[in-house]
Amino acid sequence: MAFLEGMRIFRSLTRGKIFQKELKKANLQKETGPLALVETRSVKSPQTEYASVLKELTSSELKYVLELRRIYNEIILPIKSKNMSQEAVGICTCVKTLIRFHGLLYNEMMVTKSPVLLLSKYLQVFRDVYQMYTINLAGVYEIEKAASPFTICGNRLLIPLQHLMRYPMHLSRICKLLQKHTWLEKNLYLFVQTLDGFKQLCVFLDEERGRDEGNHLLKDLCKDQGVALDIPRHIRFKGMIVVAKPYIYDFDACVFCDDGLIVWTKLIDGKEMISISIEQCMYVSQLSFSVVIVTLSSEGQLFKRHLALHTLASSIFLKWYQQRSKKNNPKLTASC
């Protein structure tokens, strides 16, 4: 009973006007007090956030230019007088070009309202310079080998390609912000176009790098058998081959090209391969338990290679033959 009486008195007090006023006052202080002020200040306005992202893009450009100069002074300049391959000389020339180009780009960024418009303006220059850098990537190892033992190279000569990948990241943040607040910038369509342009450039250079590495591998393999390859071939697949009857063959890997050239190889380790036979793929057939690849050797001999089903190798060959069949319009044979 005493407890119920106490509850009745408490309710009567909390329903009073004075108590309600004090409660409202306390809530108001919570909403407008010093903590609320700090919380409000921590939320950036759209203009401030936009300016911050643009400033980050510009400061990133400055850091990149300074790093390029250090790379040139510490790695390239000391070996400039040495006799090097065409690819190594190409990398050295590209680094000098990158220093000039990005130095000019940074200076223009400092006096313009929109650095993104400059990136759009120089997109073709980016493509030309970085494509040349990618083509000559084989020279990076030679430069690192020729550098002084006291010079720390690491992966510093790959920094240009790493920096290029950052442009789509910066541009993506800018475009997302402008899509929320369209009044910040009138040229949203141009900004999106610039973002797409840099994305396509990064994909193109990544593919170019893969093709270049593949062509070097293919030339080295074919050199083992005294075969010269002057025509660039695009490698579709390289890796382990799981054969249906592995004890029959003396190869365990292959390099497969878009035009059907196959270099059967023997894996020495993860990096080195020795070519066993160079053949041209004639056609591919799928049987119940294996995929049969009919090839023609350089001596004019026909071979049948059995690959196990449901492996990466067999799926690659089937896909290639299906695409080829669509072009030539013959049906995929059901058996050999």
Domain boundaries, the chain: 47-220, 235-328
Q: What is residue 299's predicted lDDT score, i.e. its pLDDT?
A: 79
149 CB neighbour count, 10 Å cutoff? 5
Please give the CATH topology (third level) of the domain spanning 235-328.
PH-domain like (2.30.29)
Band of pLDDT at residue 335, cut at 50, 70 and 90? very low
Mean pLDDT of the chain: 77
| pTM assigned to the model | 0.60
**Per-residue pLDDT at 13 exceeds 70:** no
Number of helical (H) and strand (E) elements in the chain, helices listed first: 12, 6
CA–CA separation, 95 and 83 (whole Å): 18
56-98 pLDDT, tens per residue?
A: 999 999 999 999 999 999 999 888 878 888 888 999 999 999 9
Q: What is residue 325's predicted lDDT score, i.e. its pLDDT?
A: 75
CA–CA separation, 224 and 227 (whole Å): 8
CA–CA separation, 127 and 194 (whole Å): 13
For residue 170, count CB atoms less than 10 angstroms from its CB and return exposed for 0-12, middle for 13-18, buried for 19 or more. buried
**Per-residue pLDDT at 101 exceeds 60:** yes
Please give the CATH topology (third level) of the domain spanning 47-220.
Dbl Homology Domain; Chain A (1.20.900)
Q: What is residue 220's predicted lDDT score, i.e. its pLDDT?
A: 72
Band of pLDDT at residue 310, cut at 50, 70 and 90? confident
The candidate with the shortest Cα–Cα distance to 260, out of 242, 234, 288, is 234
HSE-CB for 37 with a 13 A CA cutoff = 4
DSSP 157: G
259-285 pLDDT, tens per residue?
A: 778 888 776 555 567 778 888 888 888
Band of pLDDT at residue 45, cut at 50, 70 and 90? confident
**Per-residue pLDDT at 146 exceeds 50:** yes
**Could you tell me what percent of the chain has a pLDDT over 70?**
72
Q: What is residue 147's predicted lDDT score, i.e. its pLDDT?
A: 80
CA–CA separation, 195 and 171 (whole Å): 6
Span 97-102, average pLDDT: 96
178 CB neighbour count, 10 Å cutoff? 21
